[in-house]
Chains A and B, each alone.
Chain A
C-alpha cells in the first residue's frame, strides 16, 4: 500500500507538487508568523523594560526612626500575683553610626507596682528614687553601646504579664527628640538592608538612595537664594554605576561636595563651581558644601517620583536638585529631619525617601513578558520578606511587564489576523489545485475500482497519500518559515526560548493537518465514495459552484457588516489612547470584519463577473476569425465557459487582495510610527545643549550638517506663572517651525495648524494654549492671558499674551506643554537669546538620521555638550509597546509569501488550464496554429485572469486595509485618518504577477510544443 502511494505521488508530479506547495506555503506562513510573534514578544519584553531605569526600590517605611532602642523586661516573666517582688530592667542601645547625646530615659513607675525605695540603678550605680520617672540623664551613648537601668518593687495587684509594668518607658536624645517607646523593633539599617537584598539570587546589584524635599529658600549661594522648594538627593558612585541615569554636564561628582541640577546651577549662577549653603530644618546648622558638578537629571525622573501607593509614579521633585553623598546625608541631614519631625511645627511636610534601589539581572528574565513578570513579582516578594512590615517595595519592572504582557497578547492577535488570510489562501490554493486535477484522479480511481480494488483500500491509500503530503509539506513549510524569518530579520534582536518555538511548530503542524484534511482529504474522500458512473457524469456536467448556490458571498458580507456595525456601536473603532504602563484596548472584531469582507467581497464581484460574461455569451455572434484569430478564440473561450476563469480570478484576487491589504497596512503602520516618533522628537532630530553651555553665535548654522535641510530653535521655561501656578511655556519660531515639525490638524481644538502659525507670525504676543490649561483658567481663543515669565536673572516679567488657539498635543512635547508662544517675544521677555532646544529636519530615513547624529557629535558636539535624540533612536515612553513593534519584518515576511502564493496561484491556474485544455491546444497545433499564437492563446487567458484579479484584488485589498487600520487609532498618538498606499510595492506586486503569468504561459506553451501530438490526440 505504502509503495503504491509513493509511486502515485512520484508518477503524478504536478498534482503532488501543487498540493505540497499549498501545504508548504500554509505551514510556512503560519510557522513564519508564529516564529515572528515569538521573536516580537521577546522584543516587546526588552522594549517594555528598557525605559525602566531603576528596577525595584525598597524604601524604609519609617525613615526617621531613632537609632536609639529601649528594651524593657521584668523578672520574673509571665503571670505575677499581688505581693510578688518584681525587678524591671531597661536597656538603651545606640544602633546608629553616630553618638547619641543628651539621652534621657524615662520610665514612670507602673501603677500596678509599688517601687522599692533605693532600688533604682544605672549601670549598677544607685540613682535617686524617682529619677526614672522624671527622666534619667544618660548623657552620651556611643554608637553600638548600651546603658542599663534597673529598679525593683512589689506587685500591687495580680498581673497577667510582667511586661505590663514596663510598657510605658521611653528614651530620647538630642539628635532624635521624638521619644522611642520601649520594646519597639530596632530601626532598619540601610547598609544591612542593602546587604540582604544584594544576596538575593537574581539581584544584580544594589545602591542606597536618600532624598528629601526642603522648603523654599533652603538653598543659596552667596546672596542668591532659590525661592522654590529644593530636592536634596543622596547617592554614591555605586548608584551612578548601577543606574546610569545621571549625566554630568560640567565638572565631576566628588564625595563631600554637592552636584547641582541644571536649573539650580542656572538659578544660583553657578555654572562652573563655587559653593552653596543648604539650610536644614530642626534647628540644625546650615550645611556648607562646595559645588563640584552640574548634572542633567532628565533621565532620572524615576528617582524623584512619589513612592506613595496613592500617587505612585507622580513626579514630586523640584527642578532645583542638590546631590550629596550618602554619608553627608546620614550624618548631617537625617538628624536634622528627625529633629524637625519631632518638633511641634515641622517644616518638612513629606518624610524623606530612604531606600535601597535594586538592579535585577534582566538577562535572566524570560523573553515572555508574562513569565518575566512572574519572576519579578517573586523577587519583589523575596525583597519584602527581608524586613517584613518595615519596607515597602516599588516594583517598576512588574508594572512595565504587565502592560507588555497585555500588548503581547494583542500583538499575537494582530499578527495572526494579519497572517490568517494567507494561511487560508494557501489552503484554498491546495484545494484549487486538487479541484483542477480531480478529473485525472477520478479516472485513476475508476480504473482501480474496475480492477477490483475495494473502496476501503482506496480510502486507506488516500489517507496515506494525505499524510505523506502533510509530512512533506510540513517539513518544507517549517524550513521555509524559519528560513524566511531568519533571512528577513524577524528574529533580529531577541531570541525566544525553545519552548516558545516548540509551541509555534506545534501550531504550524496542526495547521498543516487541518489544511490537508480540509483541502485534500475530505473532498477526495467524498468523491471516492460516489459511484464511478456518477463521477464520470459529474465531470461532464457544469454545475454552479457551491459558494454561489449557498450564497456564501452574501452571507459573508452580511456578517462583515454586522461585525463592523456591532464594533462601531460598542466603541471598538473609537481611539482609546494608551497611557504609560497601560495597554491599548483592541477589539477582536475589528480584525474579524476585514477577514469576512475579504472573501465575501471577492466572491460577490466574481458573481457579478459571471453574470456579465453570461450576458456577453448570449450576444456573441459567429464572426470572422480572419483577423484577431487568437484574440477572438480567447474571448469566446472565456465568455462561453467562464467558470474556469472565475475560479482562477477567485484564487488570484484573494492573493492580490491579501498582499495589497497587508502592504498597505504595514505601510500605514510604518508611516504612523514615523509620525509618532517625529511627534515625540519634534522634528527628525532634536538637539539640546547642556545646561549652562555657552553657545556660539552661529550655533544654528553649525547644526546644518550634511543631511539637515532645516533647523529651528525653541526656548522653554517651566516656571512661567499663570495666576499663582507655574506652567511650562515654549517659544517657537513660527516662520520655520512648521517646516521642521508636523503640526497635525488633530492637535488643535478650535483652529487649524495654518491659522495657528499665522497667528503666531502676525501677532508677537499670540499664544497657543493647552486644552487643560484653557479649561483650568477658562481661557478661550481671543482672550488675554496674563503671565509672568522669569527673566534670566530669575525676576518675573509680566506679559500679556493673546490666546490664538487651543491645542491638545504639540510636537516635541509628548508629556505636554501648557503654552506655545513666539520665540522672539519669549526671548525679549526673558532677556535670554540662548535657545534651549533645536529641532532639525532631515529626509527622515534612519541612515540620514544616524549620519546627522554622528556629524553633530563630531562637529558642534566636540565643543558643547549636546543631548541628541532622533526619530531613529527615540523611545516613546508614552506609547504602548504595540507602537514599537517591528511590523516591517512581518510585512516583508508576508509579502514574500504573497509573491510565492501569487506564483503558486498563477502556476496552478496556467498549468491547470493546460491540463484541462491540452487536447484543444494540441488540436489547434495539429491544425497548424503557430507556436507563438499558441503561447498568446494561453497567455491571453492567464493574463486576463491576472489583470482582472489585480484590479479586483487591489480594490478589495485597499478597502480591507481601510478597515484594518482602524485598530491603529488606539495604538498611536496621531491616529491615522486614511491609509498610506505603497504605490511602489503595489506596482511591484502587480508587475511580479504579470511577469509570472508570462513566464508560466511561456513555459506551458513550450511544454506543449515538446509534447507528442500523436500521444495527446489519442487520449480520450
Chain B
C-alpha cells in the first residue's frame, strides 16, 4: 500500500462559502484533514459549525469553493456532477440523519436498490437479507419504512450504505432522532460492519458517547478545525 493509498481522505485548505441574502457564509473555512484508510473518525462540534458541509464535500455531494478534496485517490473538485454521482455510487455509502429511505420500497428493496445502483450484482443482493438480519431486522425485511421504528429505519439505512461494499462510509448525525440506548446500538452495528468491510468511516455526531466509539475525533467550529474533540472519560 502506497503512502497516498493509506490516506483515504485528504483535504487541503478546503473552503466552502455560500452566498445568502444576509451575506457570505463560510461553512468550511480552510480545513486541512487527512484520514487514513480503515479508520473511523467522528466529527463533532456545535450546530452550524460546518460538520455536514464537510462531510458533503468528502462525499462528493458538494464542490469546494477552493482547496483540494482528494478521497480514495480521486480529486473530487475536478469531477463533473455526473462523474461525482458515478464516483459516489461505487465508493461511498451514506447514512442520513432522517434515514431518507424510499417510502414505497420495503426494507429489503431499499437495500437491493442500492446494490443495483452500486452494480455489485446478485451476490451482494443476496447478502442484503443476511446483512439486515445481522443488523437485527430479522422479520422486518418486507416492511415499508412507515411500518418501522426510527432505530429500525436507521439500521436499514446502514444496511443500504454498506450493501455496495463501499470503501468509505459517511454518516451525518445517524443517531439524531434516536434515544441513547438505540444510538449506541446503531453506531456499534455500523462500526462493526464497517470494520468487517475494512472501510473508512466518517461520522458527524453531537453525542460524545457515540463519538467515544470512534478511532479519532475532531472538533469543527465556525468552519475550522478546533483540534481533537474531547470525550468524557
Contact = CB atoms under 8 A, between A and B. Distances in A.
A626 B105 contact: no
Interface in A975-1020: 1009, 1012-1014, 1017-1018, 1020
Contact residues on A (Cβ < 8 Å of other chain), bracket: 20 to 34
A580 interface: no
Interface string B98-110: 1010111110110
Contact of A640 (B59, B94, B104, B160): B104
A689 to B, nearest CB: 78
B223 to A, nearest CB: 14
B153 interface: no
B102 A923 contact: yes
B96 A931 contact: no
A924 B102 CA distance: 9
Given A624-B112, A1014-B56, A928 B104 contact: no
A625 B113 contact: yes
Contacts of A929: 85, 89, 117
Where chain B touches its partner, the secondary structure class is helix
Contact of A931 (B56, B81, B103, B115): B81
A719 B98 CA distance: 97
A1013 B62 contact: yes
B106 A622 contact: yes
B138 to A, nearest CB: 15
A919 interface: yes
Nearest to A640: B104
B140 interface: no
Given A637-B104, A920-B103, A1014-B52, A928 B112 contact: no
Contact of B89 (A927, A931, A1014): A927
Nearest to A920: B102
B82 A629 contact: no
Contacts of A413: none
B89 A625 contact: no
Contacts of B116: 624-626, 629
Contact of B125 (A626, A920, A1018): A626
A926 interface: yes
Nearest to B142: A622
A633 B113 contact: yes
A930 interface: yes
Contacts of B62: 1012-1014
A412 interface: no
Contacts of A626: 116, 121-122, 125
B53 interface: yes
A629 B125 CA distance: 14
Contacts of A641: 103-104
Contacts of A629: 113, 116-117
A926 B52 CA distance: 14
B114 A927 contact: yes
Interface in A909-950: 919-920, 923-931
Contacts of B114: 927
B103 A625 contact: no
B109 A636 contact: yes
A930 B82 contact: yes
B65 interface: no
A1011 to B, nearest CB: 11
Nearest to B172: A1017
A241 B2 CA distance: 110
B88 interface: yes
B89 A928 contact: yes
B104 A923 contact: no
A633 B103 CA distance: 11
B5 interface: no
B4 interface: no
Interface string B131-161: 0000000000010100000000000000010
B118 interface: yes
Contacts of A1012: 62
Nearest to A542: B146
A928 B117 contact: yes
Given A625-B115, A640-B104, A925 B85 contact: yes
A640 B160 CA distance: 21
Given A641-B104, A920-B103, A1017-B96, A625 B88 contact: no
B102 A1014 contact: no
Interface string A32-53: 0000000000000000000000
A925 B62 CA distance: 12
Given A919-B100, A927-B89, A636 B105 contact: yes
B86 interface: yes
B35 interface: no
B27 to A, nearest CB: 9
Which residue, B62, B88, B89, B117, has most C-beta atoms of chain A within 10 A? B117
B109 A622 contact: yes
Contacts of B52: 1014, 1018
Contacts of B89: 927-929
A928 B125 contact: no
Nearest to B121: A626
Contacts of A625: 109, 112-113, 115-117
A641 B96 CA distance: 24
B61 interface: yes
Contacts of B102: 633, 920, 923-924
A1017 B170 CA distance: 14
B160 to A, nearest CB: 8
Given A1013-B56, A1013-B61, A1014-B61, A926 B94 contact: yes
A607 to B, nearest CB: 21
Interface string B173-197: 0000000000000000000000000
B24 to A, nearest CB: 15
B178 to A, nearest CB: 15
Contacts of A923: 96, 100, 102
A926 B125 contact: no
A920 B102 CA distance: 6
A413 B204 CA distance: 68
B151 to A, nearest CB: 18
A186 B3 CA distance: 134
Contact of A622 (B81, B108, B121): B108
Which residue, B52, B102, B142, B172, has most C-beta atoms of chain A within 10 A? B102
Nearest to B89: A928
Contacts of A624: 112, 116, 122, 125
B81 A926 contact: no
B98 A1020 contact: yes
Nearest to B101: A923
Contacts of A1013: 56, 61-62
Given A927-B88, A1013-B56, A1014-B53, A622 B96 contact: no
Nearest to B161: A927
A931 B82 contact: yes
A832 B226 CA distance: 118
Contacts of B109: 622, 625, 636
Given A641-B104, A930-B82, 20 more contacts: A622-B106, A622-B112, A625-B116, A626-B122, A633-B113, A636-B105, A636-B109, A640-B144, A919-B100, A923-B100, A923-B102, A927-B117, A928-B117, A929-B117, A930-B86, A931-B82, A931-B85, A1014-B52, A1017-B61, A1017-B96
24 contacts: A622-B106, A622-B108, A622-B109, A624-B112, A624-B122, A625-B109, A625-B115, A626-B116, A626-B122, A633-B113, A637-B104, A640-B104, A920-B102, A923-B100, A927-B94, A927-B114, A928-B85, A928-B90, A931-B85, A1009-B81, A1014-B62, A1017-B96, A1017-B98, A1020-B98
- The 5 A-B pairs at the shortest CB distance, nearest first, are namely A928-B89, A625-B116, A640-B104, A923-B100, A1014-B56
Interface of A: 622, 624-626, 629, 633, 636-637, 640-641, 919-920, 923-931, 1009, 1012-1014, 1017-1018, 1020
Interface of B: 52-53, 56, 59, 61-62, 81-82, 85-86, 88-90, 94, 96, 98, 100, 102-106, 108-109, 112-118, 121-122, 125, 142, 144, 160, 172
